[in-house]
Structure 1
Amino acid sequence: MPAFWKTLAASAALGAAFAAPAAHAQDSTTLKIAFLGSEDDEDYDGSLVFKSFVESASNGSLAVEIYPNGRFCSTEEECSEALLDGRLDIFITTNGGLAGWYPPAQFLDLPYLFPNDAVAECVFDGPLTDKLRAAVLQDVGAVRLMAISNTGGWRNIATTGKAVHGPADVAGLKLRTIPA
C-alpha cells in the first residue's frame, strides 16, 4: 500500500486498550474510527486492514467500527471535538485537521517544504515524527499522533491557469488555504 500523507490521531485509550490483560478477553471494547472520506478513499482501505488486525490479534476482545463519509461527525471540527472528548477513538485527518487542535503542526502543509516525496518520506520516517508525537502527547494529552504519510501534496500549489514551479509563478495570484 503506498504511503499517503494523512494524520491518524488516536485517543490515549487506544494504547491502553492494546495493553489490557488477556484475562479480560470476554470483555469487549469497541474502537470507533471516523474520517470524512468515502469508502473509495485509501483511509477506508487502511481502516479495514486495521479492523481485521485488531479484531484478530485481540481474539475478539476488541471490535472496530468504521465511520466513513462523515457518518460519525460531519466536519473536521466535530470529529476533532469527538476525539478530544473521548467519544471517538481514532480520527483520520489531514494536516490541516491536526493543526486545528495542535497549531504547531501547520508547518506540515507548507508548500515546497520538501523537494520531492522521497525526501519527505525519509524525514517522516526519522526522529522528527517521534518528536512531533511526544509534543502532541505533552501539549494536548488527550490524543496520540499515530502516523504521518503522504497524500502527494508536498509541492501543492494548484491553479486552473498555469503550472507553479517556484515563487515567481505565484506572483499576482490570489491564494486560498484550508483553515488552520
Structure 2
Amino acid sequence: MKMIKTLGIGLAAACLSAQAFAADVTIRLAHLNPEDPFASHSGAMAAVFKSLVESSSNGEIEVQLFPNGQLGKDNEVIEQVRSGIVESTISSSGGMAQHYPLVGVFDIPFAFPNIGVASRVISKDSEFGKKFIADLEGTTDLKVLGLIDSGGFFAFTNSKKPITSVEDMAGLRIRTMTLPTHETIVSSLGGQPTPLPWAEVYTALQTGVADGQMNPVPIIAFAKFDEVQKYLSVTNHIITPYIWTMNAEFYNGLSDEHKTLINWASEVATEAGRSMSRVIEASDKGLPALAQKMEVNVIPPAEQAKFAEAAQPAVRKLIEEQYGAPGTEMLDSLLNSIKEENNF
C-alpha cells in the first residue's frame, strides 16, 4: 500500500512539474468541482483567488488551477498537499476526515437552525472556527486559508420514491461520503449507507448501485443528478464544511508580503464562494431548475423533528465513542457556538 501511495505521488509530481511556470512563486490549487465560477462555490473561490493574487503580485506569483478532481480523489490531493507535491486544495469534509477525523462533529443532524447561523459559525472568524482551525493545523501541519459551508443544507435525492417521513427511508441505498457520521445518519433513519468516493457517484446512481444520495442543492445541480434521480426531498438535515488548506511549510517559506497577499486574497475568495452558493440556490441554476426535471418535496418541521429524534442521538453516540473526549469537547463547542449565534 505504501509503495502504491509513493508511486501515485511520484506520478502526480511528474505531471505537475511539466506545467511549471517561470514565476517567482507557483501555487497549484486543486478542487473537486467545475472550473466555471458560476457553477460552484469552489470554482468561484479558485477563480477569484487566482485573479487577485496574480494581478496584485506584479507577476511574482502564478496560480495554476486543477478543478474537477484532475489530481485525484479528495483525500489523495490532501495527501499531495501535506507532502508538498501540490501547494493548496479546497476539500470536502469527506476528504478531510481521513486526515482530521474531528471534522465529523459538523454532522450532528438539524443542529443549524438556518443558513445565517451556519455562515457565521462555519467561518475562520468565528470563535468556534478559530478553535477548530487551531486544532486541525496542530494535528495535520496544514495551513487553513478558508472555512466555508459545502454549498448549503443537504437534501436527499433518490430514484425510488418521495421521502416524506422517516418511514420512507427504509431500505433505500443512499450514497454517503466515506464518513462514519454520514453512514450513521442514513442507518439511523432506516436506510442502507453506501459510502463511495465522489468520482463514482453519478455512475452508481445511474446503474442502481445506489438508489440515492445526499448533498446541497448547488452540488446536486452541477453534478447533473437530475439526469439519474427522480425525487428530491428537502430535509435540510446537515450542513458540512469545505476546508481550504495550503502546505504549511510552503506558506511559512513565503515572504511577509506574499503571505499578506495570500491571506487577503483567500479571505475575499472565500466570501465570493459563500455568496455564489446562495446565488446558485436561488437562481435558475439551483432548485428551480431541478424542479423542472425532478419531483421536489419539502419536509415540514413536524417531520423534521422525527428525523432529528432518530438521527441526532445516534451521531452523538458515535462521536463520543469513536473520537473520545476531544471529539465530545469539540462537538459541545460547536453546539454552544450555534446557540450563541442563533441568539445574535
1:82-129 deviation line (CA, Å, top 9, x unaligned) = 111011111111111121211100122343231221221122242111
Aligned-partner residue type, residue 28 of structure 1 = D
Cross-structure match for 2:33: 37
Q: Which runs of 5+ in 2 are unaligned?
A: 1-21, 180-344
Cross-structure match for 1:54: 53
- State the distance in 2 between where 1:164 and 1:152 align: 23
Instruction: Identify which of structures 1 and 2 has the higher relative contact order when contacts are C-alpha pairs closer than 8 Å and 6+ apart.
Output: 1
Against the structure 1 CA distance between its residues 176 and 45, is the aligned structure 2 distance closer, same or farther, given a 3 Å change threshold? closer
- State the distance in 1 between where 2:74 and 2:56 align: 30
- State the distance in 1 between where 2:171 and 2:115 align: 25
Compute the RMSD of aligned alpha carbons. Answer: 2.4
Q: What SS class does the counterpart of residue 81 from structure 2 fall into?
A: helix
**Contact 2:34/2:68 (8 A) holds in 1:** yes
Count matched residues: 151
Q: Tell me whether 1:130 sits opposite 2:140 in the alignment.
A: no
Q: 1:97-176 counterparts in 2 under 5 A?
A: 97-125=95-123, 126-141=126-141, 143-160=142-159, 161-163=161-163, 168-169=166-167, 172-174=170-172, 175-176=174-175
**Contact 1:117/1:150 (8 A) holds in 2:** no
**Contact 1:54/1:62 (8 A) holds in 2:** yes
Against the structure 1 CA distance between its residues 27 and 177, is the aligned structure 2 distance closer, same or farther, given a 3 Å change threshold? closer
Deviation at 1:177, TM superposition (A): 1.9
Percent identity of paired positions between Structure 1 and Structure 2: 28
Which one has a larger percent helix, Structure 1 or Structure 2?
2
**Contact 1:111/1:157 (8 A) holds in 2:** no
Against the structure 1 CA distance between its residues 36 and 176, is the aligned structure 2 distance closer, same or farther, given a 3 Å change threshold? closer
- State the distance in 1 between where 2:176 and 2:131 align: 26
Q: Tell me whether 1:28 sits opposite 2:24 in the alignment.
A: yes
Aligned-partner residue type, residue 25 of structure 2 = T
